[in-house]
Structure 1
Amino acid sequence: MAALKLISHKLCPYVQRAVIALEEKGVPFARIDIDLASKPDWFLKLSPLGKVPVLVVTTEQGEVALFESNVICEYIEETQGGAKLHPADPLKRAEHRAWMEFGSAILGDLWGLETTTDPTTFESKRQALVAKFARVEAALGAGPFFAGQNFSLVDAAFAPIFRYFDLFDQLTDLAVFTHTPKLRACRSALAQRPSVRSAVSPDYPALLHAFLVGHRAHMLKLAA
C-alpha cells in the first residue's frame, strides 16, 4: 500500500476534510503542519496553488502530490478500504459531490464573516450563511447525517464548518441555526464522531481566537 503524507495547516478546514476521510477509512498517514505565512520552498514545489491540503502518495515510481481537498477525498475513497463514504448510485454520488461544493461556498462566506472589520459586510455574510444553511436544512432527511445513518464525504465537508461555531457561539449569538433543527442535530452528531474530533489539534480553539484577534474581526467587537 502506498505511503501517505498529508501537508497541513492547523486551522485549514479543507485539511480537516482529508483527515476525516483518512480516519474514517482507518488509513495510516503522516501529517506535516506548515506555516502558510512562511511557506517552505519544498512545499511550493509540491503545491501548484500554494495551498493545503496536499496529499503526497509514495509509490514505487516516486512521489505524487495531489492537491485540492475534494480530489484528495475522492482518491481516498477510490483507493482505500473500510466503509464507503460515497453512495453506490451514480446520481446520488453526483448529488453528494455537488453538496460538497456547496460546503466550499459556505466556507467562503465564513472567511468573510471571521475576517471582516466592517459591520455591514459582517451582516451580509451572516445573512448569506443563514440562507445557505436553510438550503442544507431542506436537503436533510431523518439524519443524523446527510445520508441518514451513513456517514459520507458530505459530512466530512460540513464538520469543519460546524467546528467554527464551537468558538463563535462562545463569543456571540449569530442566530444562523435558529430555524434549522435537523442541521443542529447533524452538527451535534458530527461533533461526537472520533474522526471529526481528531481532525484538529487541542490548541485549535486558541489558534482560531488568535486568528480573529489578528484580523481585528468585527465578531470580537460583538463579544465585547
Structure 2
Amino acid sequence: MPHAQLTLISHPLCPFVQRAAIVLLEKNMPFERIDVDLAAKPDWFLALSPTGKVPLLKVGLSDRADAILFESIAICEYLNETQGGASLYSDDALCRAQQRAWVEFGGTALTDAWLFLNAQDLVTADDKKAAFRDKLQRLEDTLDQGPYFSGASFGMVDAVFAPIFRYFDVLRPAVSQPIFDNLPRVSTWRASLASRPSVISAVRDDYAVLFQQHLVKQQAIFAGSILG
C-alpha cells in the first residue's frame, strides 16, 4: 500500500517500538512519530490502544477509514508484507518458520535483559545475567557466517535483537563486556547491528540520558553505569 500515511505512536525507550521503527527505516518508508508519556497516558491514546501499550501504527488510507495496528510483530509483519524492498524473512518456508521462532526467542531474551538492567540487588542481577547469557550461548551455537542472523542480509530477527543489544552498548564496558566474553559470533553480530543505519536512527539522540533517568527512578544498581 504505497500511498498509506504511517504514524508510529511511540515511547522513546520502548524496545518494541524500536522494532517497528527499524522495519520502517529498512523499508525506507516516510512516517510520523508521536511519543506518549506511558506514566500519564492521554485519553486519545487509550481510545486507540486495546492494551494500553506502544507501539501503535496508524495506517491512513485514501479509500477507507484509518486503521490502527498494535503489537510490534504484527506491525512489523504488516510492513514487511506491504512495503517494497527485500523481505525481512527467508523465501524458504522452513527457514522462515525458524526465523519466526527466533523472533519469539528474542522476546524471552529481552525479558531477561530488562530484569537484569533494572535489578535493585546483586542477587537478582546475577540470576538474570546468567539467564540472559544462557540465551546468548544458544545464539552463539546457532549463528554462522554473519554479519547478520541469517547471513549477509538484515532480517526480522536482527530487528528484534538490535534493541536488546543497544542496552549493553550504552553501559560501561566493565558491566556489559563480561556478559559477551567468549561469545565471538554474538559479539560480531552485536557490532554489526550497532552500526546499521536503521538501528542507529530508531532512537532519539538522548536515548542514553533517558535510559539512565529511568534506571535512577527504578533505583537500579546499574543506574550509574551508563556511558556519559
Equivalent residue, structure 2, for 1:13: 15
Equivalent residue, structure 2, for 1:122: 125
RMSD, matched Cα: 1.5
Deviation at 1:122, TM superposition (A): 1.0
The aligned length equals 223
Equivalent residue, structure 1, for 2:216: 213
SS at match of 1:218: coil
Does 135-144 or 54-63 show the bigger shift?
54-63
| Corresponding residue to 2:135 among 118, 132, 148 | 132
Looking at structure 2, the residues matched to 138 and 77 of structure 1 have their Cα atoms a distance apart, in angstroms, of 28
Deviation at 1:219, TM superposition (A): 2.2
Equivalent residue, structure 1, for 2:190: 187
Q: Which amino acid aligns with 2:60?
A: T
SS at match of 1:31: strand
Q: Deviations over 1:14-62 (max 9, x none)?
A: 1111011011111111111111111111111111111111111112221
Identity of aligned residues (%): 50
User: TM-score, normalised on structure 2?
Assistant: 0.94
8 Å Cα contact 1:24-1:83 kept in structure 2: no
| Corresponding residue to 2:58 among 46, 56, 59 | 56
SS at match of 2:154: coil
Deviation at 1:170, TM superposition (A): 4.5
Q: Deviations over 1:140-185 (max 9, x none)?
A: 1110000100100110001111100012235624611112101110
8 Å Cα contact 1:171-1:219 kept in structure 2: no
Deviation at 1:221, TM superposition (A): 6.9
CA 1:79–1:221 in 2, change beyond 3 Å: closer, same or farther? closer
Looking at structure 1, the residues matched to 119 and 193 of structure 2 have their Cα atoms a distance apart, in angstroms, of 28
Equivalent residue, structure 2, for 1:75: 78
CA 1:173–1:159 in 2, change beyond 3 Å: closer, same or farther? closer
| Corresponding residue to 1:151 among 150, 154, 165 | 154
Question: Where in structure 2 are there 5+ consecutive unaligned residues?
Answer: none
Equivalent residue, structure 2, for 1:44: 46
Deviation at 1:2, TM superposition (A): 1.2
Question: Where in structure 1 are there 5+ consecutive unaligned residues?
Answer: none
Looking at structure 2, the residues matched to 153 and 47 of structure 1 have their Cα atoms a distance apart, in angstroms, of 24
Equivalent residue, structure 1, for 2:179: 176
Looking at structure 1, the residues matched to 88 and 16 of structure 2 have their Cα atoms a distance apart, in angstroms, of 17
Looking at structure 2, the residues matched to 95 and 169 of structure 1 have their Cα atoms a distance apart, in angstroms, of 34
Looking at structure 2, the residues matched to 111 and 124 of structure 1 have their Cα atoms a distance apart, in angstroms, of 12
User: TM-score, normalised on structure 1?
Assistant: 0.95
SS at match of 2:140: helix
| Corresponding residue to 1:29 among 28, 31, 34 | 31
CA 1:222–1:71 in 2, change beyond 3 Å: closer, same or farther? closer
Equivalent residue, structure 2, for 1:2: 4
SS at match of 2:60: strand
